[in-house]
Amino acid sequence: MSLKNDLLYYRRSYALSKIKLEQVEDSKGRKRASTSINSERIADTTRQFLQGNVEYVDFKYDRLSKMAEEELKNDFERLGLNHPKNERERQSFQKKKRIAISNWQEKYIEENFPRKLRIDFDDFIRATNIQKAQHSVKKALDILIAAQNSNFYEIEHLQLDLETGKVETGISRISALPAITLWLDESVSGDGYTLESFAEADIKNKRELIRGLEIEFSPKYLFHVLSIGNDYVTSHKSKREKLSHAASYKFDILISSLQFSKNKKTITFDIEDLKNQLGVSSDIEYKYFKRNTINKIITDINEKMNKKVELKEHRTGRKVTSVSFIIEEDSENPLLDFIFHYISSQLFYFSKYNIKNIEQFSSYLKNKEIPDEEEIGDKIFAEWKDEAEKAFTCENDILNMLEADALFFKRNNLIYDKKKHTIMREISYTEDGEDKKKYHLIKTETTTIKNPIESLRYINQLEREEIKNSVHVIDLIPFGYFDYGKRKWVKIDTADKVVQYKEKIYKDIAIKKTESFTFDDSTKQDIFIYYVEKNMFNEISEGYLKKIQKIFDFD
């Protein structure tokens, strides 16, 4: 599984939750909290893989909401939620409906979402960006073991009793990490190895026996980590993994969840509440809490994230009882810039809203205090922001895809228009003896693709179709290959032979040297040539092609 998305999603309830840290004993017998920077990075990486999983992409909020409304319509009618007597009652009933829909979605995800995800071992370790883990398999396993059960989140969530219509508050205890086990080669998979026992086992060449990692999610973890719905905050993994203190990871999403809920610039906490949010013992005196946690977090956030945070203390007598964080967004925050440009672009190209200049209108929105409920075109500002945040993630995905695999876009005659924020179809034609190109919006059976969200959905669909038709070299064995170095034909009839000759085989496929290959079946030979001409081998990426071009000087 490849990872292209740097933006991580966190449910607001998750970001606002209290942390309960497990206490562990170090080598000197001292008690300490088990959370660490490594465990936070592993948690973020797990979230990244899960949110990038194809299965996750298929769990759409709008679809689940419609399913929930259909399932619950009789309950809403029986409870009288469809017949409010006044505006106040209407708002109360709408809130109850939203809670019931969220409860239904949670149960649906628990019952239907795949609980296990298999990930390539090297891909996962590389994605954590923990340098020590990349030095050896033993160190990687030790770090994974140390991160398990590092801390828990206590998440409050509202529940609607469908019998009485009463709203109650429930608390879920969610591990920061799912269960991580090894996916081992069949030769040792039946021996019952755990992470710990395999790390300590006297086995040579352990890496060769590890096929990957298997991550198993609890039902509650899935609902709170999938971030399905509108009530979530985001943060950039590439920035978070530069943070120097474990508590900074929670503080990052905590202030985001509060800051953007009502466009707040100042956020105030009681000292005891803040300790609970950051997983600090209530026994710690404020002066040590400030020195060892608060000051380090502020420095961390100011240096690594797109925020400037200042501390203000509030005293009752001589005792500090609460603190405020004054937060100023960096003017170069790419997400904020994108939101206003996206709104302006969508209105300019795809609506009747009167905009003469996209850049001027974008600047106007950025410098204006806009209430969430203000209408701009056919949506209120809060809806635009929600859509734009999703579009920002999708556009980054698409641009990363373009960089990583330009061949895919060439094969499908696609380009990405950053002004319109959508993919378009490239059409080549000749006019007056001159080669020209024009670009059309893509129309499917149900819609015209106009934004990054729809674009990514369409690209994923094309990728799935290509995967059905594409091939790995290993799928074609047996075949004959001419080794020009040794001036002889070699029979490639096992996976080991593919590995032995892979550099030469990949190179000849990349430069389309089909005469180096022979098949007993003429039909198979024709299929092979077709795959080569269409660049449909999974092993041959755009990056590999560029490398070969540089070495062998071909176009």
At 131 the pLDDT is: 87
97-118 average pLDDT score = 84
- Residue 181 CA to residue 202 CA, distance in Å, equals 19
- Residue 220 CA to residue 193 CA, distance in Å, equals 27
Among 175-189, 237-251, 253-267, the least confident range: 253-267
User: For residue 443, is pLDDT > 50?
Assistant: yes
Among 165-174, 476-485, 536-545, the least confident range: 536-545
- Residue 333 CA to residue 327 CA, distance in Å, equals 13
SS3 content of the chain, % helix, strand, coil (to 5): 50, 20, 30
Beta strands in 85-209 (DSSP E): 116-119, 151-160, 167-175, 179-184
User: For residue 343, is pLDDT > 90?
Assistant: yes
pLDDT band for position 257 (cuts 50, 70, 90): confident
User: For residue 110, is pLDDT > 70?
Assistant: yes
Strands 167-175 and 151-160: antiparallel
User: For residue 331, is pLDDT > 60?
Assistant: no
At 469 the pLDDT is: 67
| Beta bridge partner(s), residue 427 | 438
pLDDT band for position 555 (cuts 50, 70, 90): very low
At 373 the pLDDT is: 81
User: For residue 49, is pLDDT > 60?
Assistant: yes
pLDDT band for position 3 (cuts 50, 70, 90): very low
Nearest to 545 by CA among 502, 509, 513: 509
At 330 the pLDDT is: 64
| 554 vs 323 pLDDT, higher one | 323
- Residue 226 CA to residue 11 CA, distance in Å, equals 8
Question: Which distant-in-sequence residues (6+ apart) come within 8 Å of 203 by Cβ?
Answer: 188, 209
**Contact, 184 vs 214, CB < 8 A?**
no
CA distances from 289 to 206, 274, 280, 292 (A): 43, 10, 8, 5
507-520 average pLDDT score = 90
At 313 the pLDDT is: 95
At 489 the pLDDT is: 93
Question: Which distant-in-sequence residues (6+ apart) come within 8 Å of 454 by Cβ?
Answer: 422, 447
What are the tens digits of pLDDT across the range 384-419?
988 998 899 889 889 888 877 777 788 788 999 999
Question: Which distant-in-sequence residues (6+ apart) come within 8 Å of 540 by Cβ?
Answer: 506, 509, 510
60-68 average pLDDT score = 75
pLDDT band for position 220 (cuts 50, 70, 90): confident
- Residue 52 CA to residue 217 CA, distance in Å, equals 15
- Residue 123 CA to residue 104 CA, distance in Å, equals 34
- Residue 92 CA to residue 200 CA, distance in Å, equals 58
At 56 the pLDDT is: 57
Strands 319-329 and 266-270: antiparallel
Phi, psi (rounded to 5 degrees) for 449: -75, 120
Helix/strand/coil for 518: strand
Question: Which distant-in-sequence residues (6+ apart) come within 8 Å of 86 by Cβ?
Answer: none
303-321 average pLDDT score = 90
290-294 average pLDDT score = 94
User: For residue 5, is pLDDT > 50?
Assistant: yes
On the question of a cis peptide bond just before residue 178, with omega within 30 degrees of 0, the verdict is no
pTM (2 d.p.): 0.61
% of the chain at pLDDT higher than 90: 26
Q: CB burial class (10 A; 0-12, 13-18, 19+) of residue 52?
A: middle
Handedness of CA 346, 374, 253, 309 (dihedral sign): positive
User: For residue 22, is pLDDT > 90?
Assistant: no
User: For residue 98, is pLDDT > 60?
Assistant: yes
For the chain, the residue count is 555
Element (DSSP H or E) covering residue 213: strand 210-216
pLDDT band for position 540 (cuts 50, 70, 90): confident
- Residue 275 CA to residue 491 CA, distance in Å, equals 66
At 550 the pLDDT is: 63
Helices (H) and strands (E) in the chain, counts: 24, 21
DSSP state of 526: H
User: For residue 254, is pLDDT > 70?
Assistant: yes
Among 93-97, 222-226, 334-338, 453-457, the least confident range: 222-226
- Residue 345 CA to residue 357 CA, distance in Å, equals 9
What are the tens digits of pLDDT across the range 116-150?
888 889 889 988 989 888 888 889 998 998 887 66
User: For residue 261, is pLDDT > 50?
Assistant: no
Among 14-18, 248-252, 543-547, the least confident range: 543-547
User: For residue 263, is pLDDT > 50?
Assistant: no
% of the chain at pLDDT higher than 70: 87
Distance between first and last Cα of the chain: 29
At 231 the pLDDT is: 64
Among 20-24, 508-512, 529-533, the least confident range: 20-24
99-123 average pLDDT score = 84
- Residue 483 CA to residue 415 CA, distance in Å, equals 39
Question: Which distant-in-sequence residues (6+ apart) come within 8 Å of 437 by Cβ?
Answer: 426, 427, 428, 429
